[in-house]
Amino acid sequence: MKTIKNIALLAVVFLLAFTSCKKTNDFGGAAKIKGMVTLNGTAVPNAFVHIAFGTTEATTSYDANGSTDASGNYVFGGLLRGDYFVTADYTNSTGQKFVSGGAKITIGDKKGEVTADLKLE
């Protein structure tokens, strides 16, 4: 009886060890996603850019946020290989909000660089 309990306990420990070691997308790598946010073909400074780790689908919960520079460019660096979804939004001085459809991105190279330009609508 004691042997069965020990085997069962060992099986649970191994199961937890292997499932908890799953690698998630996060900062800590060497890859990057970069791009430009535009509205009607014009670069948009100070637009908000959002990234979700571990998915290529739109979501309501993002893992990190950033903004574009004065030239409308953004960069998310320090990424690991994996799936990401990037989107942007911008509210102009009259309160009108513009959003992008987003970009589905898979980074396959641990030092890769992916360009994902985002068009606001």
- pLDDT of amino acid 27: 75
Q: What is the pLDDT of residues 46-86, one digit of tens each?
A: 999 999 999 999 999 999 999 999 999 999 999 999 999 99
Is pTM beyond 0.85 here?
no
Q: Delimit the domains of the chain by residue range.
A: 24-120
CB of 26 closer than 8 Å to CB of 77: no
Name the region of 71 (left: φ>0; alpha: ψ -120 to 50; beta: rest): alpha
- Percentage of the chain with pLDDT > 70? 79
Q: Phi first, then psi: what are they for 49, rounded to 5°?
A: -125, 135
Instruction: For residue 2, give Cα distances in angstroms to 5, 6, 7, 8, 115.
Output: 5, 6, 9, 10, 58
CB of 49 closer than 8 Å to CB of 88: yes
Is residue 114 predicted with pLDDT exceeding 60? Answer: yes
CATH dotted code for 24-120? 2.60.40.10
* Summary mean pLDDT of the chain: 85
- pLDDT of amino acid 26: 63
Distance CA 87, CA 79 (A): 16
CA nearest 35: which of 64, 81, 1, 66?
A: 66
What DSSP element (H or E) covers 90?
strand 82-91
